[in-house]
Amino acid sequence: MLQSINIFSSVADKVKIQHETLRTKLVKEEKANIIASHYGVISQDLINRLADTIEDILLSFGEDKTKIKRIFSIFIEGCRNIRSHGSFDEQNQQTAFIMVIRVKGVYQLYFSNLIDNNDIESVNAYIESINDSNLVDIKLMHQSSLLNYVQNQKDGSGSGLLIMRLRSFNQLNSNFININEQLSLFTVKVEVLN
Amino acid sequence: MLKTAFAERYVHPLPENHRFPMEKYDLLYRQLLYEGTLESSNIFIPDSIAEEWILKVHDKSYLDKLINLELTSKEQRKTGFILSKDLVQRELIIMEGTRLCSQFALEFGVALNIAGGTHHAFRNRGEGFCLLNDFAISAHWLMNEVRLDKILIIDLDVHQGNGTASIFQNDNRVFTFSMHGANNYPLYKEKSNVDVGLEDAIGDNEYLYLLSKNLDEILTQFTPQFIFYQCGVDILDSDKLGRLNVSIQGCKERDKIVFNAAKSLGVPVVCAMGGGYSPDIKVIVEAHANTFRLAQNIFI
């Protein structure tokens, strides 16, 4: 008797598939230029290395310093969000992926991390509220989140998303893909307007 | 004029292999004079601070125990030093050094203490090589004597400014900002107005980004009249205790960000050296010397 075998049974494998699928789609269909792409744990060393690399590449593209700073800021905030809030898989790994691409001269950054299914509703509502607010209101929200507030790896929830919205001058695009009955993959796409 | 506090008594003899690099103060002083960053006219030698100012911050019972050398062995262990009359005298001189720096900064825009930044001293106890809290004492002097009521303490030592945060936790005239290693001493962190806990191995780019981002917001919203800056160099990748991955160039950029911000706003700044535990003393001295060189370039 044949048994059905799910070769992508682990959470990490499922995230990996999502990463590869998205990457392939972006390269083949949108002719994206991949500047940085990583699947796995987003370690501090990785962030250090990618931060330097991305800056060098953007400089080599002739981008102006202001734009590089904006992209850099979104990159750091996205990575910190993943490390602060990403859920862990069954191997106790904070499996995630990130991608920085350029499509027709426009920069896009993708940040994907595991999220508890119970948190989807509140995160979704929060992103909607950010997208519904204008940049002045976002700035005020960000300022009030800073003062009298302890910021460390586990706190400061949502502040990174506010900065992504502020620095991109654009709305945040997000989606949730179900991984299993406990976890989903939460992806934020940030397209940086000129 | 870049006024700088230094006294020979800043260098207190310690047992061999003590982990506090006491000799850095003398080496830094000599280096700055040798290379011409400072001249003898820049240096002033502080005397002991008046008890009146200490008591604005510290409990009388604690000060008495300190002066009468009555700290218990356990209390002394927490400070990291063996208590002696000379050690207490040294601390009183450092306190006055920072207080006089505050006076000079009001006149010249900037002043630096070659020691100080004793941010682990609480109202009623000392910790981590700190017996009395120089920024807290000087802040009280400014609030009482100069009638300032918006003082910002920027603490960029790798260890959280726990004593300072605790002293000012209920005083909204003083805003405390500490950016430190999240996994570093002290294990229990006090609550500053803004704490940024950094992960181990954070590099220059992210470090400087987080500093700029937070400092910009704080300066915009708090609009300080005066800044104290604790510029510990234990954030360096070479530091034995630091756990961060900031280069000496990154450390210099850090100082530049703070000084440029203060200068552009016209806010006086007092800077005290704080920690630094790189195995090679030359690295510590070079990183501290950069702070003075920048202060000369930016303010003078």
pLDDT class of A159 with cuts at 50, 70, 90: confident
DSSP H helices in A29-103: 44-60, 65-85
Contacts with B217 from chain A: Cβ below 8 Å: 142-143, 146-147
Per domain, the residue ranges of chain A are 11-192
> 3-state SS of chain A: helix, strand, coil percent to 5?
50, 25, 25
Contacts with A152 from chain B: Cβ below 8 Å: 182, 195-197
Please state, in angstroms and as integers, the Cα–Cα distance from residue A107 to each residue in A7, A100, A104, A178, B262, following that order. Answer: 34, 7, 8, 27, 34
CB spacing of A44 vs B205 below 8 angstroms: no
Predicted confidence at residue A155, as pLDDT, reads 43
- A153 Cβ under 8 Å from any chain B Cβ: yes
CB spacing of B194 vs A143 below 8 angstroms: no
Burial of A46 (0-12, 13-18, 19+ CB in 10 A): middle
Strands (E), B103-225: 110-113, 151-155, 174-181, 194-198
Q: For A127-152, how does the pLDDT look when each residue is reduced to its tens digit (9 = 90+)?
A: 999 999 998 988 888 877 776 444 44
Please state, in angstroms and as integers, the Cα–Cα distance from residue B40 to each residue in A119, B104, B131, B231, following that order. Answer: 63, 16, 29, 23
Counting as low any pLDDT under 70, the low residues of chain B are none
Q: Looking at the partner chain, which of B201, B209, B217 has a beta carbon nearest the beta carbon of A44?
A: B201
Counting other chains too, the contacts that B256-259 makes at CB distance below 8 Å and 24 or more residues apart are B256/B294, B256/B298, B257/B208, B257/B211, B257/B212, B257/B215, B258/B154, B258/B156, B258/B211, B258/B215, B258/B227, B258/B229, B258/B231, B259/B110, B259/B294, B259/B295, B259/B298, B259/B299
Q: For A53-100, how does the pLDDT look when each residue is reduced to its tens digit (9 = 90+)?
A: 999 999 999 999 999 999 999 999 999 999 999 999 999 999 999 999
Tokens 């003082």, residue located: B151
Complex prediction ipTM: 0.77
| Percent of chain A with pLDDT strictly greater than 90 | 81
Please name which of B132, B55, B63, B122 lies closest in space to residue B98, comparing C-alpha atoms.
Answer: B132
Q: Tell me which CATH homologous superfamily contains domain A11-192.
A: Histidine kinase-like ATPase, C-terminal domain (3.30.565.10)
The CA radius of gyration of chain B, in Å to the nearest whole number, is 17
- A16 Cβ under 8 Å from any chain B Cβ: no
Q: Looking at the partner chain, which of A52, A55, A150 has a beta carbon nearest the beta carbon of B195?
A: A150
Q: Looking at the partner chain, which of A52, A76, A143 has a beta carbon nearest the beta carbon of B209?
A: A76
- Bond before B186 cis per omega within 30 degrees: yes
- Domain B3-299 is found in CATH 3.40.800.20: yes
CB spacing of B217 vs A76 below 8 angstroms: no
Name the CA dihedral angle for B13, B16, B22, B27, rounded to a multiple of 10 degrees.
100
Q: For B206-244, how does the pLDDT look when each residue is reduced to its tens digit (9 = 90+)?
A: 999 999 999 998 999 899 999 999 999 999 999 999 999
Predicted confidence at residue A157, as pLDDT, reads 52
Predicted confidence at residue A142, as pLDDT, reads 81
pLDDT class of A22 with cuts at 50, 70, 90: very high
Q: Is the pLDDT of residue A2 over 90?
A: no
Q: For B81, phi and psi rounded to 5 degrees? A: -125, 155
Predicted confidence at residue A149, as pLDDT, reads 46
Chain B nearest-CA residue for A79: B206
Q: Is the pLDDT of residue A4 over 70?
A: no
CB spacing of A51 vs B213 below 8 angstroms: no
Contact (Cβ atoms closer than 8 angstroms) between residue A71 and residue A54: yes
Element (H, E) at B259: helix B248-265
Chain B nearest-CA residue for A49: B203
How far apart (Å, rounded) are the C-alpha atoms in residues B229 and B149? 17
Contacts with B188 from chain A: Cβ below 8 Å: none
Predicted confidence at residue A143, as pLDDT, reads 77
